[in-house]
Structure 1
Amino acid sequence: MSAAAAPTVAKSAPELVPPAGPTPGGTLPLSSIDKTAAVRVSVDFVQVFPRAAGDVGDQDAAVEAMRDGFARALVPYYPVAGRIADVSPGEPVVDCTGQGVWFVEAAASCALADVNYLERPLLIPKEELLPRPPPEEKLEDLIIMAQVTKFTCGGFAVGICFSHLVFDGQGAAQFLKAAGEMARGLPAPSVAPVWDRDAIPDPPKLPRGPPPSFTAFSFVTQVVDVSPESIARIKEEFSAATGQTCSTFDAVTAVVFKCRALAAGLPDDAEVRLGFAASTRHLLQGVLPSVEGYYGNCVYPVGITRTSKAIREAPLLEVIGLMRGAKEALTARFTDWMHGGAKEDHYNVPLDYGTVTVSDWSRVGFNEVDYGFGEPGYVFTLNDHVNIVASVIYFKPPAPKRGIRLMLRCVEEPHAAAFAEELAKFA
C-alpha cells in the first residue's frame, strides 16, 4: 500500500444468519438484574487476529466456517436469534422469533501492519470495523451482530456489537466461544447455555431519586500499559505491610483512583467516587439451577466515596485497603438487594467529574474466542463516544506484551498531562 493511499474497507450488505435448525418460539423474561443494571445500549468491541508470517490461508473458507458456527450456536442459544421487544413501557422481554443475527463481511485494502494492528489512534474509522443492521432494523432491539474484516496479510478483525440488556461481558464471551467451537467442528458447545432469568428474585423497586443530571464532558482518550513487574511490586508492598494479599485489579484500580484525584484539580472537600460492577456469579449458586452456562447479567455496583483531599493524601496501600473493603461488602449488599432489604439504590451514582467507573475486560473471555483462525492477539472496545462519566477499561495488551493495558477516558485536556505524569510513576 502506498504511503499516500488511505486504507479503505469494502463492506458487503448485512445478511441474516438464522439458526441452523428449528428453535422454540414465544417470549422469555429478562432478569431483575438485566433490567436494573444494564441500560439498553449496544457494546461495541473489536477482536484482532494477526496471521503468522506467510500464513495467508483460505480467508473465504474461514469466514464461511465462522458464519456456519454462528448458525449452529444459535440452535442451543436460540433466544439470541430473537429480538428485544417491550410487553409494556419499560418491560423488555426477548421475543424468540428465530430471525437470526446480522453478519457483515468486509475486506480492507491493507495489511494489519499498515494500520498498526488497530492500535490507537485508529487508522481506520471505527464505523468501518463495526457491523450495523439495515435501516429498517432498530439497533436497540438486536441482541448481537458480527462483522469480519479480511486484511491482505491473511489476518482478520472481528467487530462485535451486543446488547447489554441480554448479556454481561462474560455471557457475550460465552456465546462467542460457543460460535467458535461450532465453527471448528465441535458437535455441541463445551458449556451448555442456561437462560433461567426468572430464577433471580425481583426485589421491590427502590424509590428513585431525581433523575441524574447529565453533563457532557470532553474526556481525552489515553492508553497506558502497566507492566507485570510494577503490578508485582505494588502487591508485594501491600503484602509486606499488611500480611494480606491483594488482586491485580485492587492494585491497579487504587493507582488510577489516587492518580486521578491528584490530577483532576477538584476542591479538597469535593466527593470523589470510584464505581465498578462486581461479578455476582458466585453469589447466585443455589439461586440459579446452574451458574455455569448462565449468560445473563450477573453484576452489582460496588464503590468508594471519599473527599478529594482524603484520596490525594492517603498512602497507596490505604487506597488498596479501601478497594478490598468495598469488594468484601459485596456479599451483604447484593444479598440484601436480592431479598428486598436494600435501603438505598446503589445503581444511582452521581454523574459529575468526581465519579470514575472501572470495567475489567481482561478476564471476561473475549481473548479466548477462536473462530477457527486462532485466538485474538488484541481485543479493545469502541464505546469512545460516552462522555457522561469518566471511565477506565482494563484489557490484555497486544500479544506478546504482558501486564494490563488501561484505556482511560478519565480527565479533560487541562488535567491530561498531570494524570499521565502521576500514572507514569507506577506504570
Structure 2
Amino acid sequence: MELQILTKEIIKPSSPTPSHLHRFNISLLDQLSTAGYVPVILFFPNSNGAPSFHERSHRLKKSLAETLTRFYPLAGRPRQNSYIDCNDDGAEYVEARANCVLSDFLKEPTPDLLAQFLPIKTEAPEAADGGRMLLVQVTLFECGGMAMGISFSHKLVDASSISVILKCWSAAALGSDPVEPEFLQASLVPPPEGIPIAVPPTDLGGKVKCSSRRLVFNGQEITVLKSKAATDITPNPTRVEVVTALIWKCAMKAATQETKPFSPNLSVMSQTVNLRKRLTPPSPDYSIGNLVGNFVTDPIPASEKDLKGLVELLRDGVKEFNKNGIRRYEGKDCFAKILEGLQQGGGLFMRDDVAFYICSSWTRFGLYEMDFGWGKPGWVSIGSIMFLNFVVLMDTKDGEGIEAWVTLKEDEMASFQNDDELLSFASVNPRVLI
C-alpha cells in the first residue's frame, strides 16, 4: 500500500480566543505524561449516498474550526512542560489518498501500515514543547472509504478526553449543539511551585527491539474466560480483568522461557485508572486533561501460572486504589504523595529481575458512536504504541469483545503469539470485517 499526500493546511478556530485565556497552565498529571502523541484512527466504509470525499473533508474542516473555538488549547502550543500558549496557531489538517480499497487493507492491518494513516509519529518529542496540540489526516481509499487519523498531544489529552473531543466534533459536523468542555485546571492537581518537572521520555523501550501484535477476543470467548477465572473472591470478573490477566500470564511465560539466557524472577502489572468519578467531588464527564492514575500489583513470581490468582491480584489492586490510592491525587500535598508512588513503581520498573507490564483500558468510551454525517466507523484502532511491555485494550465494534494491542520484546513476542492458551481465546491480527 502506498499513500500520496494531496494537501496540507492549518485549521484555525472559527472565533479568536480571548486574550485572558491565552495562557493555560497544565496540571501536575499533564506534566508527568510522556512526551508524545496519543493516536486514534477511525475507518469509515463508503456507504450508499455518502457525500463525496471533497464534501466530507470540507465538513470536517468547518466543524473542526468550530470545535477548536470550544477546545481552544488544542489550537495552541505547549511550552516548557508548564503551560499551553493558546495563540490560535491551529491544527494541521492533511488530505491523502491510498492506492487500495479499504477491504483489502483490512485483511491484515499491521502496525507499520496503520502508522501511515497518522499525521505524525506517536513518539514525536515536540508534542511536549513547541509542537502542535492536534493533527488530523484524512485518507481516501479507491473504493470511497475513508480513514480519519488523529494525533493528540499527551500534554493535555488522555483517552477519556479523546472521546469528549470527538463527540463534540461530530456533533458540530451534524449541526447539533455540542456540550461545552470542562478544562481541568492546574489547581485540581497542582504542580510544585518553583520546581520544574522534566518531561518523561517517550521511548519506554529504550534500545530494545519491540514488536506489537493485535489480539481480538470476541464476546463468547470472553464469557468462557470469565467462567474459567471466577473464584469465590471474584465470582464475576470483568472482561478487562480476565483479558489483562491472560495476557499478563502468557507474557510472563514468554519472558521466562528456558531458551532465554536471562529471565526475570518477579513480575508486576501497572493498571491505569480513570480518576474522574473517583475524586471528591467527581469531575464532569466532559472534562479535558490527563486525569489518570495507576496502581501497581504486588510483585509475584514471574513463573506464576494461576489465572485466577492474577485476576484476584488485579481486583485487589482496584480495591486498594479506591480506598487509599485515590488520596494521592487529592489535597495540597498531592505532589509529594504522587512522587512517592512514582518512586515505588519506578524502582520496580528499573529492576532487571522484574518483568514490569503496563495496561491501559480504552473500553466504554463510545468511540464507535462517532458520526460526522456519513455513518459510524466500521473500525477504530490506535495503530500501536511501541512502549515495551505495554498493553492497550479497546472495544470491538459490537461492544462485547476486546481488541488488545500488545508490545513486547521481539524474541518474547515470537513465543507469546504462539501460546496455545492465548490462542484458545484470542485471534492474532484477524481480518477486520466492517
* Counterpart secondary structure, 1:162: strand
Does residue 416 of the first structure (1) align with residue 414 of the second (2)? yes
**Do the aligned residues in 1 keep the contact of 2:31 with 2:197 (CA within 8 Å)?**
no
Letter in 2 for 1:108: A
Q: Distance in 2 between matches of 1:368 and 1:114?
A: 24
**Do the aligned residues in 2 keep the contact of 1:148 with 1:157 (CA within 8 Å)?**
yes
- Measured against aligned partners, the alpha-carbon deviations of 1:135-179 in whole angstroms (never above 9, x if no partner) come to xx9554221111111122221101111111111111022112211
- Could you list the runs of 5+ residues in structure 1 that have no partner in the other structure? 1-6
**Do the aligned residues in 2 keep the contact of 1:203 with 1:337 (CA within 8 Å)?**
no
Letter in 1 for 2:83: V
* Counterpart secondary structure, 1:13: strand
Q: Distance in 1 between matches of 2:274 and 2:227?
A: 25
**Do the aligned residues in 2 keep the contact of 1:16 with 1:101 (CA within 8 Å)?**
yes
Letter in 1 for 2:118: L
- Measured against aligned partners, the alpha-carbon deviations of 1:252-283 in whole angstroms (never above 9, x if no partner) come to 11111112222221678712121121111112
Residues 81 and 139 (structure 1 numbering): CA distance in 2 closer, same or farther, change over 3 Å? same
Does residue 22 of the first structure (1) align with residue 11 of the second (2)? no
Residues 115 and 239 (structure 1 numbering): CA distance in 2 closer, same or farther, change over 3 Å? closer
Q: Distance in 2 between matches of 1:113 and 1:360?
A: 27
Task: Provide TM-score, normalisation by structure 2.
Answer: 0.82
Report the CA distance between 1:12 and its aligned residue. 2.7
Corresponding residue of 2:245 = 254
Residues 364 and 347 (structure 1 numbering): CA distance in 2 closer, same or farther, change over 3 Å? farther
Does residue 376 of the first structure (1) align with residue 377 of the second (2)? yes
Report the CA distance between 1:183 and its aligned residue. 0.9
Q: Distance in 2 between matches of 1:390 and 1:154?
A: 37
* Counterpart secondary structure, 1:12: strand
**Do the aligned residues in 1 keep the contact of 2:78 with 2:127 (CA within 8 Å)?**
no
Letter in 2 for 1:307: I
Corresponding residue of 2:401 = 403
- Could you list the runs of 5+ residues in structure 2 that have no partner in the other structure? 427-434
Q: Distance in 1 between matches of 2:227 and 2:138?
A: 43
* Counterpart secondary structure, 1:199: coil
Q: Distance in 1 between matches of 2:415 and 2:378?
A: 29
Does residue 350 of the first structure (1) align with residue 338 of the second (2)? no
Residues 194 and 264 (structure 1 numbering): CA distance in 2 closer, same or farther, change over 3 Å? same
Corresponding residue of 2:30 = 34
Q: Distance in 2 between matches of 1:247 and 1:411?
A: 28
Residues 215 and 13 (structure 1 numbering): CA distance in 2 closer, same or farther, change over 3 Å? same
* Counterpart secondary structure, 2:278: helix
Does residue 47 of the first structure (1) align with residue 38 of the second (2)? no
Residue from 65, 68, 71 that aligns with 1:74? 68
**Do the aligned residues in 1 keep the contact of 2:256 with 2:303 (CA within 8 Å)?**
no
Corresponding residue of 1:245 = 236
Report the CA distance between 1:85 and its aligned residue. 1.5
Letter in 2 for 1:166: L
CA RMSD of aligned residues (A): 3.1
Residues 365 and 170 (structure 1 numbering): CA distance in 2 closer, same or farther, change over 3 Å? farther
Residue from 316, 319, 344 that aligns with 2:307? 316
Which region of structure 1 is more displaced relative to structure 2, 211-220 or 356-365? 211-220
Q: How many residues align?
A: 399
Corresponding residue of 2:82 = 92
Residue from 216, 220, 228 that aligns with 1:229? 220
Corresponding residue of 1:278 = 273
Letter in 1 for 2:265: A
Does residue 63 of the first structure (1) align with residue 57 of the second (2)? yes
Q: Distance in 2 between matches of 1:305 and 1:19?
A: 47
Q: Distance in 2 between matches of 1:359 and 1:379?
A: 16
Letter in 2 for 1:178: C
- Measured against aligned partners, the alpha-carbon deviations of 1:316-367 in whole angstroms (never above 9, x if no partner) come to 1121110001111113112134333634425635155711111222333433
Q: Distance in 2 between matches of 1:139 and 1:199?
A: 22
Q: Distance in 1 between matches of 2:400 and 2:294?
A: 28
Corresponding residue of 1:338 = 330
Corresponding residue of 1:4 = none
Corresponding residue of 2:292 = 299
Residue from 182, 198, 209 that aligns with 1:194? 182
**Do the aligned residues in 2 keep the contact of 1:43 with 1:383 (CA within 8 Å)?**
no
Letter in 1 for 2:272: A
Q: Distance in 1 between matches of 2:380 and 2:357?
A: 22
Matched ranges for 1:113-262 at <5 A: 113-116=103-106, 119-121=108-110, 124=113, 126-127=115-116, 129-132=117-120, 138=126, 140=128, 141-186=131-176, 188-189=177-178, 191-202=179-190, 215-239=206-230, 241-242=232-233, 244-262=235-253
Percent identity between matched residues is 23
Letter in 2 for 1:28: F
**Do the aligned residues in 2 keep the contact of 1:101 with 1:145 (CA within 8 Å)?**
yes
Report the CA distance between 1:298 and its aligned residue. 1.1
